[in-house]
Amino acid sequence: MKRLNNQVCLVTGAANGIGLATAERFLQEGAIVILTDVDVANGQKQVERLRGEGFNAHFIEQDVSQEASWTQTLAQVRESWGALDVLVNNAGVAVLADVESLTLEQWRKTNAVNLDGVFLGTQQGIAMMKGRGGSIINVASIEGIIGEPLVPAYNASKGGVRIFTRSAAAHCARKGYNIRINNVCPGYVATPMISGGLVDLPSEQAQAFQAYLGQRIPMGRLAEAAEIASAIAFLASSDASYMTGSDMVVDGGYLAQ
């Protein structure tokens, strides 16, 4: 049985990586999926491919850090599909700069996408789901649980997402909205975010970091994006009907030791 049959699902940052894998998984589960991203070229290309495979996929250009972009996107969803059942706040960015070299501009940009974007999406998602229910999944990170010297702005933004989710989830549950809101906290995942970050590092540092990850992760490898998507699909579905305000850690055992 398909778990998301005819559910209207919106995934942000879906042109690449975890967002794209989530959109694919939702489509396989029978959903109507709206992929949004600032990367219009890749987003449209992926949607064309998915539609060619017979899936009910659609692309909307969206910058999650902009309130007006959320208002426009959700108005379009309401007009075209009448409702929103599942929202995945996945879009995110990371900048590699330790606390001594990080600029205020980098700090603000990271938090604008990763934290403001999740706040705006959750707030407007609740407004649209109220009265009929739904599920919101916020993609945080193990980097919102522990600190990593190279990514302080990212750490702060993801820690903020984790706690914000709890607050919003408790609010919706107390109000009886039937809207569940949960975090997924991936460990290291093989996506353009990681490969791009490694390319930006001097090669010696990149090699050292890869070697460190190989040893540090008990399962000895990075996650595939599809392995994060399956956790998100679980939280989206009624299989997770008693879960709200929680963190689902998917990290190959990274935090276990």
Cβ nearer to ligand NAD, comparing 7 with 155: 155
Applying CB under 6 A, among 141, 155, 237, 244 the residue interacting with ligand NAD is 141
CB 168 within 8 A of CB 232: no
Residue 186 is which amino acid? P
Contact mark string toward ligand NAD, 59..98, x via CB under 6 A: ---xxxx------------------------xxxx-----
Cα–Cα distance between 115 and 156 in angstroms, integer? 9
Q: Does 134 bind ligand NAD (CB under 6 A)?
A: no
Residues 44, 45, 48, 49: is their CA dihedral positive or negative? Answer: negative
Give the shortest CB-111-to-ligand NAD separation in angstroms: 12
In this chain, which stretch among 75-83, 170-178, 182-190, 207-215 interacts with ligand NAD, using CB under 6 A?
Answer: 182-190
Cα–Cα distance between 84 and 77 in angstroms, integer? 7
What count of Cα atoms within 13 Å lies in the side-chain half-sphere of residue 121? 34
CB 153 within 8 A of CB 103: no
CB 182 within 8 A of CB 240: yes
Cβ nearer to ligand NAD, comparing 124 with 191: 191
Applying CB under 6 A, among 135, 191, 237, 244 the residue interacting with ligand NAD is 191
| Contacts (Cβ under 8 Å, ≥6 apart) of 100 | none
Residue 14 is which amino acid? A
Binders of ligand NAD among residues 107 to 126 (CB under 6 A) are 113
Instruction: Name the token pair of 256.
Output: 């276990």
Is-catalytic flag, 254? no
Applying CB under 6 A, among 11, 32, 35, 38 the residue interacting with ligand NAD is 38
CB 235 within 8 A of CB 137: yes
Applying CB under 6 A, among 25, 37, 47, 121 the residue interacting with ligand NAD is 37
Q: Does 10 bind ligand NAD (CB under 6 A)?
A: no
Give the shortest CB-220-to-ligand NAD separation in angstroms: 16
Q: Does 47 bind ligand NAD (CB under 6 A)?
A: no
Binders of ligand NAD among residues 193 to 212 (CB under 6 A) are 193-194
Cβ nearer to ligand NAD, comparing 178 with 246: 246
Instruction: Name the token pair of 180.
Output: 């569940």
In this chain, which stretch among 35-43, 96-104, 201-209, 213-221 interacts with ligand NAD, using CB under 6 A?
Answer: 35-43
Cα–Cα distance between 162 and 87 in angstroms, integer? 16
CB 50 within 8 A of CB 23: yes
Catalytic positions, written as ranges: 154
Which residues contact ligand NAD (rule: CB under 6 A)?
12-13, 15-19, 37-39, 62-65, 90-93, 113, 139, 141, 186, 188-189, 191-194
